[in-house]
Structure 1
Amino acid sequence: MKNTRIFSLLALLLAFLVSTSVMAQDAKPKASPPATATGKVGGATVTINYSSPSVKGRTIWGGLVPYGQVWRSGANEATTVTFDKDVLVEGKPLAAGTYSFYTIPTEDKWTVIFNKTAKQWGTQYDEKQDALRLTVTPSKAPTMNERLKYDINSNGLLLSWENLAVPVKITAKK
Structure 2
Amino acid sequence: MKYTLLAFMSLFVTTIVAAQIDAPQPSPSAMVKQTVGLTEVTLEYSRPAMRDRDIFGNLVPFDKMWRTGANANSTITFSDDVQFAGTDVKAGSYAVFTKPGKKDWKIMLYNDTSNWGTPRNWDDSKVVVTATVPVNKLKNAQESFTMAINELTMDSAHLQIMWENTMVAIPFTVPTETKTQASIDKVMAGPGANDYYQAASFYLDAGKDLEKAHDWITKATEMNPKAFWMFRKKSLIEAKMGNTTAAITTAKQSLEKAKAAGNDDYVKMNMDSLKEWGVKM
TM-score range, shorter chain: 0.7 to 0.9
* Structure 2 match to 1:68: 63
TM-score, normalisation: structure 2: 0.55
Shift, 1:17, TM fit:
3.5
CA displacement, residues 23-43 of structure 1 (integer Å, 9 cap, x when unaligned): 12xx22222222112212222
Is 1:123 aligned with 2:122? no
Percent sequence identity over matched residues? 31
Amino acid paired to 2:79: D
Give deviations 1:15-67, integer Å, cap 9, x for gaps: 333433xx12xx22222222112212222111111121111211111111111
Q: Deviations over 1:61-118 (max 9, x none)?
A: 1111111111111112121111110111122211111111111111111111001112
Whole-angstrom CA distance in 2 between matches of 1:62 and 1:35: 25
Paired with 1:12 and 1:102, the residues of 2 have a C-alpha distance of 47
Structure number with larger C-alpha Rg: 2
CA contact (8 A) 2:97 2:118 kept: no
Q: Within the alignment, does 1:152 sit opposite 2:149 as a pair?
A: yes
Letter in 1 for 2:123: D
Corresponding residue for residue 25 of structure 2: 30
Higher helix share: 2
Q: 8 Å contact 1:39–1:46 — kept in the other structure? A: yes
Of the two structures, which has the highest relative contact order with CA contacts closer than 8 Å and spacing of 6 or more?
1
In the alignment, the residues of structure 2 paired with residue 157 and residue 44 of structure 1 have an alpha-carbon distance, to the nearest angstrom, of 14
Please state if 1:166 is matched with 2:161.
no
Q: Please report the TM-score for the alignment, with normalisation by the length of structure 1.
A: 0.85
Cα distance in 2, alignment partners of residues 96 and 142 from structure 1: 35
Other-structure match for 1:17: 16
Aligned residues: 169
Alignment of 1:35-46 (within 5 A): 35-46=30-41
Q: 2:48–2:144: 8 Å Cα contact kept in structure 1? A: yes
Bigger share in strand:
1
